[in-house]
Amino acid sequence: MTITNQTAGQLAGMHATGTREIQVREAINECLRQEMELDENVIIMGEEIAGGAGRQDQGVEDAWGGPFRTTVGLIQQFGKERVLDTPLSEAAFIGAAIGASSTGLRAVAELMFVDFIGVCMDQLVNNAAKMRYMFGGQVKVPFTMMTRIGAGFGAAAQHSESYYSIFSHFPGLKGVVPSDAYTAKGLLAAAIRDDDPVVYFEHKGLYGSVGPVPEEPYVLPLGKARTVREGTDITLVGISKMTWVCTAAAEELAKEGISCEVIDLLSVSPIDYDHINESVLKTHRLVVVDEDTPICSMASEICSRVAEEVFDYLDAPPSRVTAPHTPVPYSRAMENEYMPNESRVKTTVRNLMNR
Amino acid sequence: MELDRESILKLFKTMATIRHFEERGIPETGQRGMSASVHSSAGQEAVATGVCANLTNEDYIGSTHRGHGHCIAKGVDPKLMMAELFGRATGPNKGKGGSMHISDMSKGMLGTNGVVGASIPLAVGAALTSKVKKLGRVAVAFFGDGASNQGVLHESMNLASVWKLPVIFCCENNGYAMSTPSEYALSTAHVADRAQGYDMPGITVDGMDVFAVYDAAAQAVARARAGDGPSLIECQTYRFYGHTVFDNPLTYRSKEEEDHWRARDPLKLFREAVLPQGDITAAELDQIEADAEALMEEAVKFADESPLPEPVELYDDVYVNYPRELLKRGVNMAV
């Protein structure tokens, strides 16, 4: 489920020296460390960012780097001024990160799970997304919100959702959905260095995924999708972890003589419509595989754009494989059915090919 | 209070400028068919003036929907503000913000804000910038009695206290959140009582007395600059008009109450406090008021003569760099 070393090098347009295999969580951690080394204005804050470091008597040595260990070691290197554990006050610290970013810092704030967005949505939507516009261009808000998506862990409905499409709805915000270690590092660097607010979505099911990552800092472009498998019969667009559901299904379908092109969306705002259209011009068919619920989703957005823009080239209706219009269930018996899987993708593709 | 003559006159000038901006600018805006949501701060001039007199150009403030006074006190040009209210391209926000979003980053003015309480964490964040970058600046979060019941204020006060940030929480308690009386909506007698819960000084002052506000803010600013952390100041004040120009305040408050507060007009109280000392004359203050009135004449003229924004400017400044084509792709725009 990883892309090849060669592809990684090609995509970045860079030499492959100093590239080694690391996990997504390590790639994120390395990126944060490098960006903080490169720019002293970069700070990071959130719940359990250091973990335990807020207690004077414990000192910084006890820091554990949070539940997914993506921020481990940062406080030891950069200190409490730049690596800030926060009280459980998302509205205040997300808002403060936005205020800090609009006054000269480049703040990264972590919302532990995207399901918690309700408690701080106002700051993101009414301040971060709109300040530059409302202020007539007077301010830049180079703010990054890191957050987590993804079901499949028996974590039930308040720790498992994949709410990225709602952020794409807001002008002024950007959003990225890395799918492996290489894109995790390159897109996080891009998010931090970008002068607009960017939401960075980490899939909980990808942290352990190992792939080739250059040691040196690098930036992948925001708003660009990539093709991870070439094909001629149908285009599959995957989002985050769903990219690998698409490639697995494509592998199987190839045995039946169906050639799938797989696109890894990587960015949910801006959306790389041109990349998708170009593929559909070749394949004439489209399936978007999205772990989010279907209504007003990334999948429905992409399908509607393709229908509007390249309608004459389509041989089948643009289609979706998504979660159903339900919250994420707890029991594995139900959760396994909830998530898009290879089987559903294969069935959908076969149906479209047989029309 | 250790203010020299010039500083004392400047307090009056700021208050007079705010008063005349509100009295002239709001009806003029309405006459031009602009904005349903303009909130007059007439009556509350002493708060913005007394607090901001303690700040430099480098310090930050976050403001509210009733924020014209904060802007003027922080040094934003009333002529440009008038242009913004009229929706002109010469406004500080180029006509994209209007009354509820006036900002001027060159003055540390982080915007008036249309969501009650929303600017509070922005000021906390600006204070964080000052602390991390060791800039020695302070930030003031202005908010009303209505916002004092918003969760984000409480989170922000706790966060600022935990991080010992150089921020001043300044509540303008004007007695009403729209028409809901603060005595109904507040669980404590004073907003300032809530400071105890966050281990910071909390003080209630007469928000109609610019010198009382100035003194309280001076202490809070000194504390913040010394690195000792945040403070909460509650200023008891009154808005002379309704929530907006559309509500009749006499449907929820009495004429007697209004008369009581009108008698405590901050400009009037200033005269009563200063003139008996003999150092400043009524003629000087009259002249300042006349100048403020004349400035508004000039501001209205400037705004009227300013160009409107081009319709295509609606696409600008959504992002720092973004293809305009992508903003209107597939939506059949006319421009």
SS3 labels along A334-353: HHHHHCCCHHHHHHHHHHHH
Taking the Cβ of residue A183 and every Cβ of chain B, the question of whether any pair is shorter than 8 Å is answered with no
DSSP annotation of A329 reads P
Tokens at B197, concatenated? 């819960």
Inter-residue contact A267 to A175 (CB < 8 Å) = yes
Query: Does residue A4 register a pLDDT over 80?
Result: no
Which pLDDT does position A10 carry in this prediction? Answer: 47
Distances A130 to A92, B73, B85, B133 between C-alpha atoms, Å: 18, 24, 18, 25
pLDDT digits (tens, 9 = 90+) for A175-230: 999 999 999 999 999 999 999 999 999 999 999 999 999 999 999 999 999 999 99
Tokens at B240, concatenated? 């002379």
- Quote the minimal CA–CA distance from A12 to chain B in Å: 21
Which pLDDT does position A76 carry in this prediction? Answer: 87
Taking the Cβ of residue A98 and every Cβ of chain B, the question of whether any pair is shorter than 8 Å is answered with yes
**Residue-wise burial string across B230-254, b where 16 or more C-beta atoms lie within 10 A, e elsewhere:** bbbbbbbbbbbbbbbbeeebeeebe
**Looking at this predicted complex, what is its ipTM?**
0.95
Which pLDDT does position B90 carry in this prediction? Answer: 98
Which position has the higher pLDDT, A76 or A241? A241
Q: Show me where the domains of chain B are located.
A: 5-327
Hey, are the CB atoms on A172 and B316 less than 8 Å from each other?
no
pLDDT digits (tens, 9 = 90+) for B199-216: 999 999 999 999 999 999
Q: Show me where the domains of chain A are located.
A: 7-214, 226-353
Which pLDDT does position A56 carry in this prediction? Answer: 59
User: Percent of chain B having pLDDT more than 70?
Assistant: 99
Contact partners, residue A163, CB within 8 Å, separation at least 6: A114, A115, A117, A149, A292
Instruction: Let me know if the fold of A7-214 is the same as that of A226-353.
Output: yes
pLDDT digits (tens, 9 = 90+) for A39-48: 999 999 999 9
Query: Does residue A241 register a pLDDT over 50?
Result: yes
Identify the helix (H) or strand (E) that includes residue B295.
helix B282-305
Q: How far apart are CA B16 and CA B293, in angstroms?
A: 8
- Quote the minimal CA–CA distance from A127 to chain B in Å: 8
- Reported as a pLDDT band with limits 50, 70 and 90, residue B1 is low
pLDDT digits (tens, 9 = 90+) for A252-285: 999 999 999 999 999 999 999 999 999 999 999 9
Amino acid identity of residue A334, one-letter, is M
Q: How far apart are CA B291 and CA B282, in angstroms?
A: 14
DSSP for A289-316, written as a single string: EESS-STT-HHHHHHHHHHHHSGGG-SS
Is the CATH number of domain B5-327 3.40.50.970?
yes
Tell me, rounded to whole angstroms, the distance of Cα A192 from its chain centroid.
14
pLDDT digits (tens, 9 = 90+) for B133-173: 999 999 999 999 999 999 999 999 999 999 999 999 999 99
Q: How far apart are CA A253 and CA A346, in angstroms?
A: 7
Q: How far apart are CA A99 and CA B130, in angstroms?
A: 11
Which pLDDT does position A174 carry in this prediction? Answer: 98
Tell me what the mean pLDDT of segment B280-285 comes to. 98
Which pLDDT does position B246 carry in this prediction? Answer: 82
SS3 A114: helix
- Quote the minimal CA–CA distance from A218 to chain B in Å: 20
In chain B, which residues have their Cβ closer than 8 Å to the Cβ of A277? Answer: none
Q: How far apart are CA B117 and CA B148, in angstroms?
A: 8
Query: Does residue A25 register a pLDDT over 70?
Result: yes
In chain A, which residues have their Cβ closer than 8 Å to the Cβ of B318? Answer: 132-133, 171-172
User: Percent of chain A having pLDDT more than 70?
Assistant: 92
| Average pLDDT value over all residues in chain B | 96
Hey, are the CB atoms on A305 and B156 less than 8 Å from each other?
no
Which pLDDT does position A6 carry in this prediction? Answer: 43
Which pLDDT does position A55 carry in this prediction? Answer: 60
Query: Does residue A15 register a pLDDT over 60?
Result: no
CATH of A7-214, one of 3.50.50.60, 3.40.50.2300, 1.10.150.120, 3.40.50.970: 3.40.50.970
Tell me what the mean pLDDT of segment B225-242 comes to. 98
Active-site residue flag, A216: no
Is the CATH number of domain A226-353 3.40.640.10?
no
Query: Does residue B125 register a pLDDT over 60?
Result: yes
- Block residue for tokens 């204005």: A41
pLDDT digits (tens, 9 = 90+) for B16-69: 999 999 999 999 999 998 876 899 999 999 999 999 999 999 999 999 999 999
Taking the Cβ of residue A91 and every Cβ of chain B, the question of whether any pair is shorter than 8 Å is answered with yes
Which pLDDT does position A53 carry in this prediction? Answer: 61
pLDDT digits (tens, 9 = 90+) for B7-16: 999 999 999 9
pLDDT digits (tens, 9 = 90+) for A286-322: 999 999 999 999 999 999 999 999 999 999 999 999 9
Q: How far apart are CA B304 and CA B87, in angstroms?
A: 10
Which pLDDT does position A54 carry in this prediction? Answer: 54
